[in-house]
Amino acid sequence: MKLFRLKKIIQGGIILLFFVMPFIAQAIEIQNYDNMPVEGDFVLGPGKIELFLDPGESITRDLKITNRTGRMLTINIDIEDFTGDPNYSTQLLGDEQGPYSLRDYIKPEISEFNLSHGERASLPVTISIPEDASPGGLYGATIARVSPASEQEEKIADGATGNVGIVSRLATLFFVRVKGDINESGYLKSFTTDKKFYKQGPVNFSIVYENTGSVHLNPYATIEIKNITGKKIDTVDVAPYFVMPGFIRNRSVDWHKKLAFGRYTAIASVNRGYNNLVDEAKITFWIIPLKVIIISLSVILLLAVLIWWFSSKFEVKRKQ
């Protein structure tokens, strides 16, 4: 009797597991959009997630992955650290551990799945900060690595064309600040133009910011343009951007002005991104449109010649 009961329990457990497993495996939510056009690409969003967490705290955020390739894709989720770069905003580190590593604390609900054209997957990703984590910045990336599913690879081998390569990658960057006593420190290192004399616009401004602290910062700026009389004639806004701890980042922005002539002054007010501290710097530059000057001088010279010619051909006599 006991053996019979045990068999029934085992059978019931197997049946329950059979029905429950598909729901466990389906750790992501997939929506289908029937009218999605074929764009030849896939989309991952958001591109950046910024979090403020306590030691020992966990939080889950959803990533959205959309297939617009016109074919089925296999999606693989990889986790990497990233750091700053002198020439680019960030550098993914692959298997290398970063100086402010977050990769061991990022856990996607599932690491591989298929996605048909017109489908959008909502993938939960959990970030768990250990109890003994030190205050400061931690940085990691969740990477969607895609390749055509097996049945589509045969079509490609037979000569089918598409805009997506065999392997493509997109990343969502996680900026985590562990709460506590942190070091926020940075400053405007330089403010320059690429030239002192321009024939015409645009004028390229370069803002170089150095982060000397232990967390990433989001500086932003306003550039005022004044003419030779000191009158403000234009303003250029520089949206917030991130600078990784221990790195220098250059931000370039153009001033588009078609009709400009003379000496100008540009004043940059750069908010450091913390405690409302602002650095200011001033530069001067010239815009001398040579073509306009040459044409103007040519016209003036032509008028002078015509006046001289007419005055030499026709004698003007005063009445007696």
Residue 298 has a pLDDT of: 63
- pLDDT per position as a tens digit, 270-319: 999 999 999 999 999 999 885 655 565 666 766 766 677 677 766 555 54
CATH code given to domain 186-292: 2.60.40.10
Higher pLDDT, 257 or 205: 205
Q: Which span out of 82-86, 121-125, 162-166, 180-184 was modeled with the highest average pLDDT?
A: 121-125
Separation between Cα atoms, residue 157 and residue 301, nearest integer Å:
70
- Share above pLDDT 70 across residues of the chain, in percent, rounded to a whole number: 77
Residue 177 has a pLDDT of: 96
Eight-state DSSP code of residue 32: E
Residue 164 has a pLDDT of: 39
Residue 28 has a pLDDT of: 84
Which residue carries 């917030």 as its tokens? 240
CATH code given to domain 27-178: 2.60.40.10
Distances (CA, A) of 316 to 308, 311, 313: 13, 8, 10
pLDDT of 137 strictly over 90: yes
Q: Which span out of 148-157, 219-228, 252-261 was modeled with the highest average pLDDT?
A: 219-228
pLDDT of 6 strictly over 70: no
pLDDT of 136 strictly over 70: yes
Q: One-letter amino acid identity for 205?
A: F
Contacts for 274 with CB less than 8 Å, ≥ 6 apart: 184, 186, 217
- pLDDT per position as a tens digit, 206-242: 999 999 999 999 999 999 999 999 999 999 999 999 9
Higher pLDDT, 267 or 305: 267
Q: Rounded to two decimals, what is the model's pTM?
A: 0.75
- Share above pLDDT 90 across residues of the chain, in percent, rounded to a whole number: 67
- Where along the chain do its domains lie? 27-178, 186-292
- 186-292 and 27-178 share a CATH fold: yes
Pair of tokens at residue 162: 């598409």
Pair of tokens at residue 198: 């321009």
Q: Which span out of 75-89, 142-156, 292-306 was modeled with the highest average pLDDT?
A: 75-89
Judged by DSSP in three states, 251 sits in strand
Rounded average pLDDT over 144-158: 56
Which residue carries 């996680």 as its tokens? 174
Residue 25 burial by CB count (10 A; 0-12/13-18/19+): exposed, middle or buried? exposed
